[in-house]
Amino acid sequence: MTLPPLRIALAGLGTVGGGVARLLAGQERLLALRAGRPLQLVAVSARDRRKDRGFPLDSVAWFDDPVALATAPGIDVVVELIGGSEGPARRLVEAALAAGRPVISANKALIAHHGASLGRLAHEGGATLAYEAAVAGGIPIIKMLREGLVGNEVKRIYGILNGTCNYILTTMRESGREFAEVLAEAQKLGYAEADPAFDVDGIDAAHKLAILAALAFGCEVDLGHVHVEGIRHVGAQDIAYAEELGLRVKLIGLAQLIDGALEQRVGPCLVPLEAPIATVEGVFNAVVAEGDFVGTVMAEGRGAGAGPTASAVAADLVDLARGRALPPFALSAAQLRRLPARSLEARRGAYYLRLMVVDRPGVIADVAASLRDEDISMESMIQRGRAPGEVVSVVMTTHDTTEAAMRRALARIAALKAVVAEPRPIRIESF
Amino acid sequence: MTLPPLRIALAGLGTVGGGVARLLAGQERLLALRAGRPLQLVAVSARDRRKDRGFPLDSVAWFDDPVALATAPGIDVVVELIGGSEGPARRLVEAALAAGRPVISANKALIAHHGASLGRLAHEGGATLAYEAAVAGGIPIIKMLREGLVGNEVKRIYGILNGTCNYILTTMRESGREFAEVLAEAQKLGYAEADPAFDVDGIDAAHKLAILAALAFGCEVDLGHVHVEGIRHVGAQDIAYAEELGLRVKLIGLAQLIDGALEQRVGPCLVPLEAPIATVEGVFNAVVAEGDFVGTVMAEGRGAGAGPTASAVAADLVDLARGRALPPFALSAAQLRRLPARSLEARRGAYYLRLMVVDRPGVIADVAASLRDEDISMESMIQRGRAPGEVVSVVMTTHDTTEAAMRRALARIAALKAVVAEPRPIRIESF
């Protein structure tokens, strides 16, 4: 061992920070062997110095101000695990990169919001910014995309990027219960936050998708053009009808390049039961990349939690220790494209539609006419049971059409007297 | 662009070599951008110089003797796509490494048979040997293991490593037909070789497993201790019974470290239908790694073919062009362990057993007694239909036992008069 240790500063000692500290201690020998030099935790910053965290911090310098880690002497790399797109996390990362100090971050919000400017800062400072842990936890998807599939033009990338939503949808399907009830249970079990909006409204998945899209298509991160829908409106009925149709509801983040424009969207989708991604259940995440030479590649694993996230941070640390750092988005900042956003209205595909209608003669005919007037052809229709004068569910699927036509048809349908709730379509994907 | 081009020599212009040549030509601009320098094909060696290969080779030097590429001037890296563990492939790779010239190879047989000595040669010559394409085609599993999961102690690694076998097993299940018939069809379709032994007897999978095990456990490749069984003895009946039991037959390569000893085996296994690997069908491959921090990670994709293999070769080329080469087995040759082999007799798990017996009173009792005498408890038993005096199938599954006990019980059972064919157990895995 002739190389000096890589001296690591850890900002944030929550669940993930604790996991990283435990990994560095527990795998000390292994990491030194694999990195060719010791990985040494030399400094930390967290809110409460006195808290017992279950691992010793005696020999480690303590910083009350995380931002001070950016320039404090004796540090080779800062690992930012504070979280949040602004505040101390952003100040720390910007200050470190500006000072030419490498940064490893698990902060998807920060990278998604400021990836382009941070990439430029890193380039100017001659430092590196690595963030394997920011997307899909323990799945080494950043490495897979940036290095493993480097010989491919990626055509499309999509995935299950939020474990909380996937857990809720899986549990709804297995138990037949509704969203609100399953969410409450997930909160009790610690699978969902007290404020679940970030997860269930698709924001977290949008952050990860924007990062994946930038890497896959060699462009600047463009979070502002991700179309985002969450899973609050998915009903237990939708899930049950979908299974009957050979489909499964998943919250999918999808990005594709069509005619030079980038489509980015997060939302509930119906995927065929026989698609590999349909079998990714519970808290698991998965990412599918379609390349022109490799074809379809899927990676699946735990998308969150102390262990998986620490595993991803360790991969970045060892790359850095070995002198194998890359530009944050594979290309240098100046080479990244700015791609025009593709309107979701141009999306071509099939749709699932559940209508709540008053059961009386002529309703289906009116709905069918609304679709026909937009040149949309129905593929199947299910109306279970009869209840004249009552509100019943009518479920239908369409053949391929455009999102624009579908939206116009929905406006017509919503205006029908017999339709009592806003119709909410779910996109069907032919993965 | 200030760096000089990476000058590439290609040995072998068959399916894979053609794929690599096409990728280098088609993605020229992309690769130069991502690698930070052009990737330039400067020399080739193949059997027939006059054959029309569908791409121009005018500006490329031609070598009749591939081994000459090892030391010919003006070459930065040799890509060996000849195949075979001996002959010109071995001579070329050894000569290149000895001369300090980097080698990229898709040759699983070569790496599996001679990985340890080639690793030492590479170390001594100060060259690198990369082989992403040798295992699971387009899935960047070498990179995932060696870099992406570098922070983990791997506990177990397993996978579907042969697309031909997986295609045959999938087709047998879907069509209900027997092995021989499906194999013949696969040969016609080009999914199986004229001499299928290499694939269907598990040899190809064993090569890949031995390489994965070396990487996962930081040890020398030890092909000689891989226990190998193929799929010739799997019957259509077994596949149908398995589905009834909630299980699916897959040819699995599995390596695990137990009490400091390495178990390596390839053979048909029964996996639960709900295990992610059970849904990997047709020609697709998949590898599952279990790490102490990351948990379970699975990667799935095309395990063979010109495009996927070329994609993997390109990943190695770009790493080399970027100056990011690693030692062949992640650690330097001297640091690799030699692990004792674990006897398969020590394997603990459940078993599936189909017996062909003469249908007469007392047969099941005799079989049950044979199992009981070895302390094996039956979990389920199926005997469909009655045909007194005729040969019928009896299918049973056991609770967990050891392979040694199972083998002793099988010897007893085979000796029973009513048992008319050699009983062939299939291991049940609780993935």
How many Å apart are CA A123 and CA A324, to the nearest integer?
16
Mean pLDDT of A119-129: 94
Size of the A and B interface in Cβ pairs below 8 Å = 183
| Partner-chain residue, chosen from A147, A291, A311, that has the shortest CB–CB distance to B152 | A311
Sort strands A348-358 and A391-398 into parallel, antiparallel or unpaired.
antiparallel
Domains and CATH numbers, chain A: 6-134 (3.40.50.720), 141-302 (3.30.360.10), 345-428 (3.30.70.260)
How many Å apart are CA B204 and CA B223, to the nearest integer?
11
Contact B151 A317 (CB under 8 A): yes
Q: Are A219 and A336 in contact (CB under 8 A)?
A: yes
Task: Kindly state the percentage of chain A with pLDDT values over 70.
Answer: 100
Phi, psi of B382 (to 5 degrees): -130, 125
pLDDT at A53: 79
pLDDT tier at A58, thresholds 50, 70, 90: confident
CA of B61 to nearest chain A CA: how many angstroms apart? 24
Q: Are B409 and B378 in contact (CB under 8 A)?
A: no
pLDDT at A385: 75
Angle (deg, nearest 10), helices B15-26 and B28-35 = 80
Query: DSSP label at B110?
Result: H
Q: Of the given ranges (A264-273, A306-315, A378-387, B214-223), which has the lowest mean pLDDT?
A: A378-387
Phi, psi of B397 (to 5 degrees): -125, 150
Mean pLDDT of A374-403: 93
How many Å apart are CA A391 and CA B178, to the nearest integer?
53
* Chain centroid offset of residue A152 CA: 22
pLDDT at A47: 86
pLDDT at B251: 98
Q: Are B172 and B200 in contact (CB under 8 A)?
A: no
Contact B152 A295 (CB under 8 A): no
Could you give the residue numbers annotated as active site of B? 208
Angle (deg, nearest 10), helices A108-125 and A203-217 = 40
Residues of A in contact with B318 (CB under 8 A): 147, 150-151
pLDDT tens per residue across span A328-360: 999 988 899 999 999 999 999 999 999 999 999
| Partner-chain residue, chosen from A30, A144, A310, that has the shortest CB–CB distance to B140 | A144
pLDDT tier at B216, thresholds 50, 70, 90: very high
Identity of the residue numbered A243: E
CB proximity list for A29: less than 8 A, separation 6 or greater: none
Mean pLDDT of A199-222: 97
- Give the angle subtended at the CA of B299 by the CAs of B295 and B301, to the nearest 5°: 170
User: Which is nearest to B149 in space by CA: B328, B300, B295?
Assistant: B295
ipTM of the predicted structure? 0.95
**Whole-model pTM?**
0.96
Phi, psi of A313 (to 5 degrees): -60, -40
Task: Kindly state the percentage of chain B with pLDDT values over 70.
Answer: 100
Is B1's pLDDT higher than 70?
Answer: no
Longest dimension (CA), chain B: 84
Contact A295 B308 (CB under 8 A): yes
Angle (deg, nearest 10), helices A163-175 and A236-244 = 70
What is the DSSP code string of B37-98? S-EEEEEEE-S-SS---SS--TTSEEESSGGGGGT-TT-SEEEE---SSSHHHHHHHHHHHH
How many Å apart are CA B195 and CA A108, to the nearest integer?
51
Residues of A in contact with B295 (CB under 8 A): 138, 301-302, 305, 307-308
Dihedral sign of CA atoms B260, B266, B272, B276 in order? positive
pLDDT at B40: 97
CB proximity list for B283: less than 8 A, separation 6 or greater: B163, B164, B166, B167, B191, B302, B303, B304
Q: Are A258 and A121 in contact (CB under 8 A)?
A: no
User: Which is nearest to B122 in space by CA: B91, B146, B150, B100?
Assistant: B100
CB proximity list for B427: less than 8 A, separation 6 or greater: B267, B268, B269, B270, B347, B349, B350, B351, B352
Decide: helix, strand or coil at residue B122: helix
pLDDT at A328: 93
User: Which is nearest to B283 in space by CA: B402, B207, B186?
Assistant: B186
How many Å apart are CA A127 and CA A325, to the nearest integer?
9
Decide: helix, strand or coil at residue A208: helix
| Torsion on CA atoms A359, A361, A365, A366, rounded to nearest 10 | -70
Mean pLDDT of A81-99: 97
pLDDT tens per residue across span A132-190: 999 999 999 999 999 999 999 999 999 999 999 999 999 999 999 999 999 999 999 98
Q: If you average pLDDT over every residue of chain B, what do you get?
A: 95
pLDDT tens per residue across span B31-49: 999 999 999 999 999 988 7
| Partner-chain residue, chosen from A31, A218, A330, that has the shortest CB–CB distance to B151 | A31
Is A56's pLDDT higher than 60?
Answer: yes
Residues of A in contact with B308 (CB under 8 A): 293-295
CA of A160 to nearest chain B CA: how many angstroms apart? 14
Contact A300 B302 (CB under 8 A): no
Is B56's pLDDT higher than 80?
Answer: no
CB-count exposure of residue B53 (10 Å: 0-12, 13-18, 19+)? middle
Q: How far apart are the first and last CA of chain B?
A: 49
Contact A319 B293 (CB under 8 A): no
pLDDT at B50: 79
How many Å apart are CA A420 and CA A343, to the nearest integer?
29
Q: Are A357 and A392 in contact (CB under 8 A)?
A: yes
CB proximity list for A134: less than 8 A, separation 6 or greater: A105, A106, A107, A108, A111, A142, A207, A208, A211
| Partner-chain residue, chosen from A151, A330, A335, that has the shortest CB–CB distance to B315 | A151
pLDDT tens per residue across span B275-299: 999 999 999 999 999 999 999 999 9
How many Å apart are CA B197 and CA B193, to the nearest integer?
8
pLDDT tier at B332, thresholds 50, 70, 90: confident
Q: If you average pLDDT over every residue of chain A, what do you get?
A: 95
Decide: helix, strand or coil at residue B343: coil
How many Å apart are CA A336 and CA B161, to the nearest integer?
37
CA of B297 to nearest chain A CA: how many angstroms apart? 4
Contact A331 B300 (CB under 8 A): no
pLDDT at A54: 76
Residues of A in contact with B38 (CB under 8 A): none
pLDDT at A2: 73
